[in-house]
Structure 1
Amino acid sequence: MNKQIITTLSIAAALLIAACGGSSHESASATTTTASSEQPKSAATDPGSYDPKRGEGKYDASNVTVGTLDASMAAKGKSIAETKCFSCHKTSEEKLVGPGWKGVTSRHPAYWIMNFITNPDPMINKDPEVQAQLEICLVRMPNQNLAEQEARDIVEFMRQNDGAK
């Protein structure tokens, strides 16, 4: 009887771990469905119109502006990143599960970063640079369901990490 209970619990634990991994086809399509219900601006109607400089999502130069570093936002962003990001990313150039964050704000505008961290699945599917990174990292970035302000705070922390003043 005890062996049967242990076996059942072991199988249940293995299934739970597999379901939480974020790489199963079923969970990816569920995330895509949720994200696509928001209807991002760019390629929602024409997949051939993807702009790799802007990304896929509702953010662009008209609704995301950066100026002088906001230390308060950066502190909030660091706190959010410690909870939602640092299990996969380092603030250096070193790869953990995902790529390191050092220099990301010099490679991409803030709105591109916000589109990616709030809407990763369509960008992973369409962006050549993100697809190349996926080949290196081998793990799709999960959608962390960040609120707009959380995403903006994380971008400000990334800017601080890259030396913005």
Structure 2
Amino acid sequence: MKQLAIILVLGILIYACSSGGKQSSENGSTNTETQQQPTDYDPNRGEGKFDHVDVGEKLDVQLAKDGKVVADLKCASCHKYTDERLVGPGWAGVTERHRPEWIMNFITNPDPMIDKDPKLLAQLEICLVRMPNQNLSDEDARKILEFMRENDGVK
């Protein structure tokens, strides 16, 4: 019985790490490889309604405090606030790696960006789970962004 369980687990792992049963196209590329970054996609801004987010140099402490409340409710089940991965990647350093517009666009509408952003596609291959759309309001997303800034050491 133990051997059957081990074989089953190994089979699932091999399937998860493979192309998931997707067929290759005639030129030998898989479906993931054909999802190339479109020329109109801006990897610095992402895709969405936020073209510019003014965060200022100093932290808005109340906004960050409110953002932690929202993040604890909507995000903490999948993300740690350190660099450790849970279901999704850890948040440490996220505001240093991405512009505020990118973060706001991603957390308010992740699906189009996951489909187009090469870094997000690579992250998806590691985490194996798409970030769900949490239907955050623009205000809650801004609060979370400020909490992320605080988490990254902005004072």
What TM-score, normalized to structure 1?
0.70
**Runs of at least 5 residues in structure 2 that lack an aligned partner in the other structure:** 1-37
Choose which of 133, 136, 142 in structure 1 pairs with 2:126.
Answer: 136
**Aligned partners of 1:111, 1:133: CA distance in 2, in Å?**
19
Choose which of 71, 80, 83 in structure 2 pairs with 1:93.
Answer: 83
Structure 1 stretches of at least 4 aligned residues deviating more than 4 Å after TM superposition: none
**Aligned partners of 1:48, 1:110: CA distance in 2, in Å?**
21
Asked if 1:56 corresponds to 2:30, the answer is no
Percent sequence identity over aligned pairs: 68
Counterpart amino acid of residue 123 in structure 1? M
Structure with greater helix percent: 1
User: How far off its partner does 1:60 sit?
Assistant: 1.7
1:164 equivalent in structure 2? 154
Asked if 1:66 corresponds to 2:77, the answer is no
Q: Deviations over 1:92-119 (max 9, x none)?
A: 0000000000000000011100000001
Choose which of 69, 74, 99 in structure 2 pairs with 1:84.
Answer: 74
Q: Deviations over 1:44-87 (max 9, x none)?
A: xxx530111110001122xx101110010001100000100000
What TM-score, normalized to structure 2?
0.74
**Runs of at least 5 residues in structure 1 that lack an aligned partner in the other structure:** 1-46
Q: Matched residue pairs, number?
A: 117
**Aligned partners of 1:77, 1:155: CA distance in 2, in Å?**
7
